[in-house]
Amino acid sequence: MFGFIICQSIVFGQTDHQIKSSFDSHSFTEDWSIGLNLHHNYLIGDLESLKSKSDKFNFGMGLQLVKQLNPSSSLGFSYFGSNLNASPPYEYGEGYQFRVETEIDVYSIFGKFYFNRLREHIGRIPTYNIYAVSGLSYVKFQYELEGIADHYELVGHGNQEDVLDTWAFFIGAGLERKLNDRWFMDFSLTAYITNSDYLDGNPTYDIASNDGDDIVMSTKIGVSYRLGKKIQRGYKWSNTYLPLDSGTETEGRFTEVENRIHRLEQSGRLDSLNGQLADSDLDSVPDLIDLEKNTPDKALVNFQGREIKVNSNVKELHYINSNIQFDPVFFDLDKSALNDKYLLNLLLVRNYLNDDRNARIQLVGHADKSGDEKYNMNLSKRRVEVIQRILMESFGIHKNRLELIWRGESETISTNKDLNRRVDFIPK
């Protein structure tokens, strides 16, 4: 049991795996991005968009300029323009068959809050951001109302050629997705609640009581470009819990695994793992993989629990077993983070290397056929690098005993994609 006690002390003995960073305060000129957006806008008022076949889809273009204040929040300015076509809801009678076309220009100041960035302490390098957005808009608009019944006067509407304005409060939610260090996509759904009932021309004025304000629902898809020279240390896709000199994705994946090990220790789930490490014959090999569960006391065994017979004059032991096989570790789609359940696999690899000081291991990374070949080659490389870091830093294995190979999507073993996202261990 002594070997596994040492192993556990290496893996779980750390009191704090959360690596705090020393990020300096960013200057005003850093962390800016500019974006181009396509909006589809839906008017909700006395008249409503897409209520008749003559209504058109209301597309418009927009721009935004955003300053990332810190990892979890940003402040921005935006503009978009659009036409709004609207017709009466189905429940309106024949006397209320009006139609409106409104031109709007919306100027906004807004703030974003990124929910997923509250979990940076686990060491993740973000590739997406889920956010809530809210702000205040100044809206300029001009409407054209038509189809009004002859016996209704257009009292109070003023000249339809006049350009009117109003204020709007808005709230919404969205998702940002990283494309590379410079570019990212931005999707959102936002409700603009105006302080006016005239975006649809208010066709019920002096006809029916109505004190409601018009609403514009805007669906946005856009692409943004990050400005400046120091984007590698910018807040947008960096983890502030990682050191400045190691802000790579591999470093982040490794720290994520380290922090999960720490949480296992704190939550008491180590009891379950320790149960898997029970060793009835005290030969340092857990019963779970011990092929000889009753070896004599003080017998020399290999990592599978088999007794090794040696002569008394043998001063140095070296064994090679070509039948030795290790279970691979598997990964989720497009991920290089190791699941907690595969830690035992790495413990067994560590035992093998400690039993034979001359042995070496090839770490061979693979990916499925999702995505292009170049991307999958890089993904399989990241996977073996993460396993290498864990074996070196948490299990004490020297770098020279680990040979890294990555095959990308070239060596699939199954039509089940889950089985192709793996790292194999090959004894040398």
What's residue 250's pLDDT? 45
Superfamily (CATH) of domain 2-15+244-427? OmpA-like domain (3.30.1330.60)
Encode pLDDT of 385-414 as tens digits. Answer: 989 988 888 888 888 899 999 988 887 777
More confident residue, 23 or 406: 406
What's residue 262's pLDDT? 58
Whether the per-residue pLDDT at 333 is higher than 50: the answer is yes
Whether the per-residue pLDDT at 416 is higher than 60: the answer is yes
Where is average pLDDT lowest: 237-246, 340-349, 369-378?
Answer: 237-246
What's residue 178's pLDDT? 93
Whether the per-residue pLDDT at 308 is higher than 50: the answer is yes
Whether the per-residue pLDDT at 317 is higher than 50: the answer is no
In this prediction, residues 327-336 reach a mean pLDDT of 87
What share of the chain has pLDDT > 90, as a percent? 29
User: In sequence order, what are the residues at sequence separation of 6 or more whose Cβ sits closer than 8 angstroms to the Cβ of residue 427?
Assistant: 320, 321, 324, 326, 352, 359, 360, 361, 362
pLDDT band at residue 242 under the 50/70/90 scheme: low
**pTM of model > 0.75:** no
Which pair of tokens denotes residue 380?
Answer: 């399989």
Whether the per-residue pLDDT at 227 is higher than 80: the answer is yes
What share of the chain has pLDDT > 70, as a percent? 71
| Total H helices, total E strands in the chain | 5, 12
What's residue 244's pLDDT? 44
* Cα–Cα distance for residue pair 183/395, rounded to 1 Å: 38
Mean pLDDT in the chain?
77
Where is average pLDDT lowest: 235-239, 242-246, 307-311?
Answer: 242-246
Q: What is the 3-state secondary structure (H, E, C) of 296-350?
A: CCCCCECCCCCECCCCCCCCCCCCCCCCCCCCCEECCCCCCCCCHHHHHHHHHHH
Encode pLDDT of 98-140 as tens digits. Answer: 788 899 999 999 999 999 888 776 667 788 999 999 999 999 9
* Cα–Cα distance for residue pair 198/357, rounded to 1 Å: 81
Encode pLDDT of 31-72 as tens digits. Answer: 999 999 999 999 998 888 988 877 889 999 999 999 999 889
More confident residue, 310 or 240: 240
Pairing of strands 73-86, 215-226: unpaired
Domain segments of the chain: what residues?
Answer: 2-15+244-427, 32-233
Nearest alpha-carbon partner for 96 in 105, 104, 86 = 86
Residue 391 three-state SS: helix
In this prediction, residues 6-17 reach a mean pLDDT of 37
Whether the per-residue pLDDT at 255 is higher than 60: the answer is no
* Cα–Cα distance for residue pair 17/391, rounded to 1 Å: 16
Encode pLDDT of 141-194 as tens digits. Answer: 998 887 655 444 544 454 466 788 999 999 999 999 999 889 999 999 999 999
* One-letter amino acid for residue 238 of the chain: S
Whether 44 and 215 have beta carbons less than 8 Å apart is answered as: yes
32-233: CATH number = 2.40.160.20
What's residue 148's pLDDT? 52
What's residue 354's pLDDT? 84
What's residue 7's pLDDT? 43
